[in-house]
Amino acid sequence: MSDAAKDAAREATTSTVFRVLARSGFAANGVVHILIGAIILAVATGTRAEADQVGAFKAIATAPLGFVALWMVAIALWALALWHVAEGLLARGERPRKWGTRVSEWGQALVFAGLGAVAAAVALGARPNAEDTAEDASRGVLAIPGGVFLLGAVGAGFAVAGVVFVVMGVRRTFRNKVTIPHAGPGRSLAGLGAVGFVAKGVALGIIGILLLVAAVKVDPVAAGGLDGAVDGLLEFTFGRALAAVVGVGLIAYGVFCIFRARYARL
């Protein structure tokens, strides 16, 4: 990495305004997950709705001045994405660990930048369908040479990410990223984080399985996002109860993210 890029990243991360915007990104992500969790709970009771980030953004859009709220969410998520870019540039430690950190930070940056772009698109009047987009993307990947293996790798990536989230929840290693107290309210917040990380991991794991199935069957229709993952849960015995548990867990994760805006180690 060039010294100029690192110097620019170092200077940016010392900016109070940038830090505030980055923290607001955690809060925005929390609000989105709370809405997703609430939508999943509604779906578990029989309501038809898009139980994913796009569905959450569309719900925001229906509120008074919803487009303003969506732009605020988009800006906050973009700021958080830029923060992760800067953190990737400033990765510390031994060389192998540095690149592992960079891959992690820049991967998160892509996720938040993409979510911000979707929020902005919905604010501008777009009404995308995440499941159709996932199927179209899978169809495009399967059409290229070696696409089956590429789609399988993406699915495996989601599955691995799901396992990582579950392990972080069970072992509570997410506490390394925040400075919450170990006693008093900190225990409740840690409990929310544990439940939330496990639920988030389960959701990511199901998405990964759907993509792997699509790759094995060479069938893009089998692919899907979070909405498809919820539909998949509903097909199981006690599926509605399982979906409700995931919904509650994602609400817990969202609340944790809002508190993370205050306690995140930046």
Q: Is residue 260 a part of any domain in this protein?
A: no
Cα(209)–Cα(213) distance, rounded to whole angstroms? 6
Q: Is residue 259 a part of any domain in this protein?
A: no
Q: Is residue 201 a part of any domain in this protein?
A: yes
Within the chain, residue ranges assigned H as helices are: 3-13, 16-44, 53-61, 66-89, 95-123, 130-143, 147-171, 185-217, 226-234, 239-263
Give the list of residues 6+ apart from residue 248 with CB closer than 8 angstroms, or none: 37, 41, 195, 199
Quote the pLDDT of residue 3. 65
Quote the pLDDT of residue 1. 55
Q: Is residue 61 a part of any domain in this protein?
A: yes
Quote the pLDDT of residue 94. 52
- In this prediction the pTM is 0.86
Quote the pLDDT of residue 49. 78
User: What's the domain count of the chain?
Assistant: 2
Phi, psi of 264 (to 5 degrees): -60, 140
Give me the residues of the chain with pLDDT under 50, please: none
Q: Is residue 262 a part of any domain in this protein?
A: no
- Residue-wise pLDDT tens digits, 162-200: 999 999 999 998 888 888 777 667 778 888 899 999 999
> Containing domain of residue 104, as a range?
1-127
Tokens of 102: 């960079």
